[in-house]
Amino acid sequence: GPVGRTASGTVNAGDGGFAAVYTYAHSKGLFAGVSLQGKFIVGRPDVNHSFYGCPVDAHDLLMGQVPAPKAAQPLYEVLEAVIGP
């Protein structure tokens, strides 16, 4: 039967940090696979309050209604150097 190979990699991030995940599969004959993926975004008001020093709504952050914090300036500089203004 047919022979197939596949490889993939991803990075998972969580409270414990980052972890690389690598997979490799080699099959001969009939193979069927299923992949189920899902993502969700959770607001963390306590972290926003700690970082910004006052209660900040996640929607306001994402819409640019909150001034950029000085602590994030190095990140903005790197992003601008990579993707431009």
pLDDT of 1: 47
Its pTM stands at: 0.45
At residue 13, what are phi and psi to the nearest 5 degrees? -125, 140
Two structure tokens written together for 17: 């940090």
pLDDT of 32: 66
**pLDDT tens profile 3-60:** 677 777 777 666 666 777 777 777 777 666 677 777 777 888 998 898 888 899 888 9
69 versus 6: the higher-pLDDT residue is 69
Task: Report, as an integer, the average pLDDT of 63-76.
Answer: 88
